[in-house]
Amino acid sequence: MGGPAQRPDVLLVELGSTRGLRVADEELVGSLERAGACVAVACAAHPGDVRTLALTDLLWARSARRAAERKLRRLGERLAPRSVIYSTTTAALLWPRPGALRFDSPAAANRPGRHGLWQRPLERRRLRQAPLLLPSSAGALAEASSAVAGCAERALVVPVPIALPPPDDGAERDIAAITYAANPSKKGLDRVLETWRRVRRPSEQLVVAGIDRQRLGESGFDVPDDGVLVAGMLSQREYRALLRRSRVFLCAPRREEYGIAQLEALAEGCLLVTAPAPGGYVALPIARELDPRLVGEDLGVALRHALDAPTAGYCLRAHGLLEPLTAAAVDRIVAEQLLPRLLGE
């Protein structure tokens, strides 16, 4: 027989609506447990696809509330968690009890106009009520502070960690460029393909990962066979193996809440060629510091700079700038700052 059930230190209420959110939540749970916390998880069930963002958020918020209520009932009063973290502002919109709020972007920034008609005012209330705010980047905190004054006083930036293998500046790379396009419109795949058609040389190949040709066609994207390989959905191991073979990560997002794909590309030794974009976009200032020629609206010029005249030592310098985003660095933040604040110590 097992011993008595342990009272959770933290209940994490998560949506898990995208791969990025699922990975971020798994990493946070791991960091909290390595810090000695007992963590319970309530995961919202997928509510089904609907046509508008406003209705999508409502269904996900209701699902998150049901998941939280169900977990709290099962735990009961004796095992009630000492603290709660809601992963995303959507998960917190209809919360059954107040808690810390983890987010990579507020609805105030990524739900403009009619898309956030009901979410934005309720989100402002939650941002004021939350005892602790956990943005994943300084950019996310700035966007929240623009919507609600005083956010910074209750905030702790907790990045999403990335795996950082040993640097390999001299690796043999047979793929000219790679991009990640799970959400092709938001990721600006049309701009990437237009740039590639315009400046590629006959021997060069672009790999499009995260989506297959059927979904691209359904999304209105006509991807040429010549010089473009659509790799489809890949495991993390397969995807990072492709990054290690690629010279450049090419992207033109219209908005970037965090940009884990770009950070992974830098970690695996790719040069990052990107257009500027609003949002938390953690890799953007890193890319500018590494080589400002590779950041700009003229992607064609930037891409040819990267392929024809790469900056020496780029990979080694990238690794140094990525150190604050490693699991070890995030673990220190969680153990020394986050967990004591969650538990009121």
**Which sequence spans correspond to the domains of the chain?**
10-161+326-342, 175-324
| Class level of CATH domain 10-161+326-342 | alpha beta
Q: Please tell me the number of Cα atoms within 13 Å of 241 on its side-chain side.
A: 6
Cβ atoms 327, 165 nearer than 8 A = no
pLDDT at 1: 46
Phi, psi dihedrals of residue 96, rounded to the nearest 5°: -85, -20
Q: Which fold has domain 175-324?
A: Rossmann fold (3.40.50)
Tell me the pTM: 0.91
Of 280, 294, 343, nearest to 39 by C-alpha is 343
pLDDT at 245: 96
The one-digit pLDDT tens for each residue of the chain (345 residues) are: 455 679 999 999 999 888 788 889 999 999 999 999 999 999 999 999 898 999 999 999 999 999 999 999 999 999 999 999 999 999 999 999 999 999 999 998 989 999 999 999 999 999 999 999 999 999 999 999 999 999 999 999 999 999 999 877 666 899 999 999 999 999 999 999 999 999 999 999 999 999 999 999 998 998 888 899 999 999 989 999 999 999 999 999 999 999 999 999 999 999 999 999 999 999 999 999 999 999 999 999 999 999 999 999 999 999 999 999 999 999 999 999 999 999 986
Of 6, 19, 20, 71, nearest to 43 by C-alpha is 71
